[in-house]
Amino acid sequence: MTDKTKKAKIAVIGSTGSIGLSALDVIREHKDRFEIVALAAGSNAEVLKQQINEFNPRFAALSDETAAMNLKKSVSGVEIRAGEDGVASLCEIDDVDIVLVSVVGIAGLAPALKTLRAGKRLALATKEVLVAAGQLIIDETKKYNAEILPVDSEHCAIFQCMQAAGALKSKSVERLILTASGGPFLGKSFDELKNITPKEALAHPTWNMGSKISIDSATLMNKGLEVIEARWLFDIPPEQIDVVVHPQSIVHSLVDFCDGAAIAQMSNPDMRMPILYAFTFPERAPLQMPPLDLAAIGKLTFSKPDYKVFPCLDLAYVALKEGGIVPAVLNASNEIAVQKFLDGEIGFLEISSYIEKKMEKCDNINNPTLEDVISADKWARNEL
């Protein structure tokens, strides 16, 4: 994008969610650099309509077909597509350069694959895609000469540290260290978590996010999913990926190199930065942000995660080590368990036991095909 006269053309899949809204903020701030060609959401026709009126995309879609029909009647000058296929079809529109996939969970798989198979840049916020089908996604990226830019603060941090060290794909990386805020229950004992309500679990101390990722942060499953995500994005084996708890969320992650140097990326916690970087890489563009005031922050602290209190983190390492379809089973059963917790059907501590049971029951398949991954996902969504 050195040619300033040519705007990058963007499709936002998941435009009404937390990341989608931040992406539109970024685009609004850089109208000279970016143009929205397509917007897609699940069922929120009202917010999507406002976005269509503001950004004038040529295409829009809702995965909820009834909501899409209603939207069609209330807007003009935009082609409205419907259903999950309609949403995914936006990823292969010819003149789209970058697709941001920021839908929740495995629903991101089809749009991500379409984007990669069209040879485009995938700005990936939906980590579940890499968790369920990591090897397949990386293979498709190479096969179609596409690229993945992570829109997850930790992975964006690691990506930047690698760039800074000039070490991308080199053997000089010793360890990736993912930082974790620790979520709202940092320091609590296992017993204290027994009667946690969804409302308490949704109240994240440093990040304001959607409900699924907020619960994942409270159980530390989010960090577990991020370990798996990092394994595939950076081609680093799990034994070289560590997690450290850092409640201030200022150091977004670190890379440890073979000569003992560690490079970290720091900034105020704001998802607009990873989003903008995924859009502009290898360049940087300005962003209106308060400067990082380390003196005002005063203290940055780090500690080891408590695997006994937060067993989900360990389950993710186990799934990664077992490989095959187990990570897909971990991911799907987590999505189900989180929903059950939000619906008041199971307690907070039952989230991990629900996932563990599913993992134990699954017959693993080595080197799974995409079909294997999709059927493992379906299997894991059935009742125990």
- Considering only residues 281 through 300, tell me which ones interact with Mg ion, judged by CB under 5 A: none
- Identify the DSSP state of 256: E
H-run or E-run covering 260: none
Q: How many residues bind Mg ion (CB under 5 A)?
A: 3
Shortest Cβ 153–Mg ion spacing (Å): 5
The pattern of x and - marking residues 125 through 154 that bind Mg ion according to CB under 5 A reads ---------------------------xxx
Nearer CB in complex with Mg ion: 153/331:
153
Sign of CA dihedral 336, 340, 341, 342: positive
User: Are 81 and 38 within 8 A, CB to CB?
Assistant: no
Tokens in use for 210? 């959607």
Shortest Cβ 260–Mg ion spacing (Å): 26
- Considering only residues 32 through 71, tell me which ones interact with Mg ion, judged by CB under 5 A: none
Q: Which residue is nearest to Mg ion (CB)?
A: 152
Cα-to-chain-centroid distance, residue 339: 18
Taking alpha carbons only, the member of 229, 249, 247 closest to residue 176 is 229
Nearer CB in complex with Mg ion: 152/306:
152
Shortest Cβ 222–Mg ion spacing (Å): 6
Nearer CB in complex with Mg ion: 152/256:
152
Shortest Cβ 89–Mg ion spacing (Å): 29
Nearer CB in complex with Mg ion: 51/222:
222
The pattern of x and - marking residues 153 through 172 that bind Mg ion according to CB under 5 A reads xx------------------
Place of tokens 């069209």: 118
Nearer CB in complex with Mg ion: 111/274:
274
Nearer CB in complex with Mg ion: 154/306:
154
Nearer CB in complex with Mg ion: 48/312:
312
Shortest Cβ 231–Mg ion spacing (Å): 15
Q: Which residues contact 366 (CB under 8 A, 6 or more apart)?
A: 323, 324
Nearer CB in complex with Mg ion: 18/51:
18
- Considering only residues 308 through 327, tell me which ones interact with Mg ion, judged by CB under 5 A: none
Nearer CB in complex with Mg ion: 63/214:
214
User: Are 242 and 176 within 8 A, CB to CB?
Assistant: yes
Taking alpha carbons only, the member of 251, 247, 283, 280 closest to residue 268 is 251
3-state secondary structure of 10: strand
Shortest Cβ 108–Mg ion spacing (Å): 15
Going edge to edge, which strands form the sheet with 241-245?
A: 241-245, 173-180, 251-257, 262-266
With the CA atoms of 75, 80, 83 and 85 taken in that order, what torsion angle do they form, in degrees rounded to the nearest 10?
-160
The pattern of x and - marking residues 337 through 356 that bind Mg ion according to CB under 5 A reads --------------------
Compute the distance between CA of residue 118 and CA of residue 96 in angstroms, rounded to an integer. 10
3-state secondary structure of 334: helix
Taking alpha carbons only, the member of 135, 111, 160 closest to residue 12 is 111
Nearer CB in complex with Mg ion: 128/154:
154
Q: Which residues contact 296 (CB under 8 A, 6 or more apart)?
A: none
Compute the distance between CA of residue 114 and CA of residue 90 in angstroms, rounded to an integer. 9
Residues in a beta bridge with 99: 11, 122
User: Are 181 and 207 within 8 A, CB to CB?
Assistant: yes
Shortest Cβ 226–Mg ion spacing (Å): 6
Shortest Cβ 217–Mg ion spacing (Å): 8
Compute the distance between CA of residue 176 and CA of residue 159 in angstroms, rounded to an integer. 10
Shortest Cβ 221–Mg ion spacing (Å): 12
Shortest Cβ 251–Mg ion spacing (Å): 13
Residues that bind Mg ion in the complex, under the rule CB under 5 A: 152-154
